Every structure is written in structure tokens, then in C-alpha cells.
Amino acid sequence: MDYQAVLEEVAAFARPLVRHGRVADYIPALERVSADRFGMAVADIHGAVYGVGDWEVPFSVQSISKTFSLALVMAQSPGSHGEDGIWKRVGREPSGTPFNSLVQLEAENGIPRNPFINAGALVVTDRLQTLTGDASTSMLHFLREESGNPDLAFDQVVADSEAGHGDRNAALAHFMASFGNLENPVPSVIEHYFWQCSIEMSCRDLAVAGGFLARHGLRADGSRLLEAREAKRINAVMLTCGTYDAAGEFAYRVGLPAKSGVGGGIIAVIPGRCTLCVWSPGLDARGNSVAGAAALDHFTTLTGWSVF
Ligand code: GLN
């Protein structure tokens, strides 16, 4: 497969859509980003990386971090499978509701539907805080290591901006705490969650860091981060829940496990082949990048690669 040629063709297809959608503004600092950006990277399972457009420009990972915090919790709790560990406290069903919705939590006793909506990610961050004593720093070190980029950093302006406008996430966390589903104090959980969302990474960094998802749990150097069945589970939950209430549409159009963020990035996995990351800040009404989703759709159309 000539990845570079495919990426050029995908970019030419997606570029007319680049200014479509709206740049997220409910976290005011995210609005600083130019809507003109488009980048895409592919990291194959052998370690080769290809890119097009703004693929080396760092952006705010936002909810893409939820994939990695779940992976880190799994890696930190070996042998904690099935109904043990984190899966007692968070489900794995699509929510069909927006990523920051409160509505299901009361009827479902403070157990979020899945780890990729905000409520679920707060539970995962809480678990990581218990396991490591410093959830956000552990995440930063983990991402530096998996991406091979020691310069990755938090964006303090974004973290502060989100904290300043974080009433919805605080409400989710307090509500879950009232059901006994947090182990740490709410202010600490939401602070670590905001820091983890503020990490800046490029398409290149994210595609490389997510390589273990395409390698059935193995890192590029052959060492094992996760059991194969754990990587499979993360991919399964990405497919069904990774793009919030658009997951069905995304599976229909793209047919790959994927995780989006309101910074405009989306990572997607072709198990056994490669990990992709695309970035363009204009979002649709459900918070997914318009040009990014179109690019992934075109990528799977051109290559014929999907999980189906
Ligand atoms: N930090 C964002 C929030 O909590 C992440 C949301 C997202 O990327 N969908 O609202």
C-alpha cells in the first residue's frame, strides 16, 4: 500500500470541507485555533509513519485522551479483566446521548454508560489517580513514551479555560460521587481530567502513540503494553462509543474503531495494519470533526480496509 499517495488523495478530497462545522467554543481557549487546519497521519504496525498537511502541528487532544487513560488503567491493573476492576464502575454500551450529558446517570445509579463519554472518563481518571497518585502526570509520561516525543506538554491556558467553564463536568463528578462511584475528592478528579484533556499532540504523535491498538497490545519495540484481549476490548468500545451519539453513523460510514475529541482530532485503528489520526477543528453538532470524518470515510473507501 502506498500510504503517502492515499493520504494525498484523501487530503485533496477532504480539503473542501475544512472550513465546515464550528470550532469548539464552550472551552474558550479552544477557539484560538484556526479553522483552516487539516492534517492526517498513518503509523503502520512496523513503525513507519506517513503524513499530509498539518500532521506535525500539535493540537488539544481533548477526548482522545480517554482512549489512553483507559489503556493506562488497564496496563496498571494487570489481570483485572471481565467484571473486575474498572468495569464494575463504568459500562460499555453506547450512550446515544451527547458526550457531556447527565441524563442517564440518575436512572443508572451513577454508573456511566461507557468510558468515552465525560462521566465515564472521569471514573477512569479517578481510578488512575488511585493507582498512580498523579493521574495527569502519569498520562503525560505515558503519552511521551508511546509517541516517542519527549516534548509533549500540557497546555495550561486550555486547562485553566476548561476549569473556568467546567460546571458541567463538576456536576457529573459530584453526581457520581453521591452514588459512591468516585474514590478521590471531586476537585482533584476534575482537575486531573482537565489537565489530561489539555495535552497537545500532533497527528503524528497520536498515530504513533496509538500503535499498540493496531498491534494487539504490543508496542513498536515488541514489548507488551496490554493483553491482546484488552486491546480488542478498547477497540470494540471505540467502535461502539468513541464518537459519542454519532458512533452508529461513524461505523456505517468509516467502519473502524475511532475516538474523537473537541479539539478536532480523531484517531482510528485498522487492527493488524495501522493507526490513523486526522485533525481539522471544525466540528459537527455532535462534536466530531467534519473534514476529519470525511477523510476517514474516504480512506476506508480507497483502501477497502475496515473491520467489516
Ligand atoms: N475536555 C472536554 C470536556 O470535558 C472533552 C470533550 C470532548 O472532547 N468531547 O468537555
Atom of ligand 1 at shortest range from CA of 118: 4
Q: In the chain, pLDDT over 70 holds for what percent of residues?
A: 98
Average pLDDT over residues 26-46: 96
Is 197's C-beta closer than 6 angstroms to any atom of ligand 1?
A: yes
Is 162's C-beta closer than 6 angstroms to any atom of ligand 1?
A: yes
Which residue's C-alpha comes closest to atom 2 of ligand 1?
62
Which residue's C-alpha comes closest to atom 6 of ligand 1?
63
Residue in 58, 179, 165 with CA at minimum distance from that of residue 109: 179
On whether the CB atoms of residues 95 and 117 are closer than 8 A, the answer is: yes
Q: Please write the tens of the pLDDT for every residue from 60-86.
A: 999 999 999 999 999 998 765 545 689
Atom of ligand 1 at shortest range from CA of 63: 8
For residue 1, the model assigns a pLDDT of 87
Atom of ligand 1 at shortest range from CA of 261: 8
| pTM of the shown model | 0.97
Atom of ligand 1 at shortest range from CA of 244: 9
Is 62's C-beta closer than 6 angstroms to any atom of ligand 1?
A: yes
Q: Please write the tens of the pLDDT for every residue from 199-240.
A: 999 999 999 999 999 999 999 999 999 999 999 999 999 999
| Residues facing residue 49 across a β-bridge | 43
Contacts of 217 (CB under 8 A, 6+ apart): 224, 225, 226, 227, 228, 230, 231
For ligand 1, the distance from its centroid to the CA atom of residue 303, given in whole angstroms, is 31
Which residue's C-alpha comes closest to atom 10 of ligand 1?
100
Is 100's C-beta closer than 6 angstroms to any atom of ligand 1?
A: yes
CA dihedral 270, 273, 275, 280 (to 10 degrees): -70
Q: Domain 3-303 falls in which CATH fold? A: Beta-lactamase (3.40.710)
For residue 119, the model assigns a pLDDT of 97
For residue 77, the model assigns a pLDDT of 84
Q: Please write the tens of the pLDDT for every residue from 121-165.
A: 999 999 999 999 999 999 999 999 999 999 999 999 999 999 999
Name the band, by pLDDT with cuts 50, 70 and 90, for residue 48: very high
Domain locations in the chain as residue ranges: 3-303
For residue 85, the model assigns a pLDDT of 82
For ligand 1, the distance from its centroid to the CA atom of residue 68, given in whole angstroms, is 14
Name the band, by pLDDT with cuts 50, 70 and 90, for residue 281: very high
Q: Please write the tens of the pLDDT for every residue from 159-200.
A: 999 999 999 999 999 999 999 999 999 999 999 999 999 999
For ligand 1, the distance from its centroid to the CA atom of residue 232, given in whole angstroms, is 24
Cell of 22: 464550528
| pLDDT, averaged across the chain | 96
CA distance 87 to 248: 22
CA distances in angstroms from 194 to 159, 165, 240, 286, 306, listed in the order given: 5, 11, 24, 20, 33
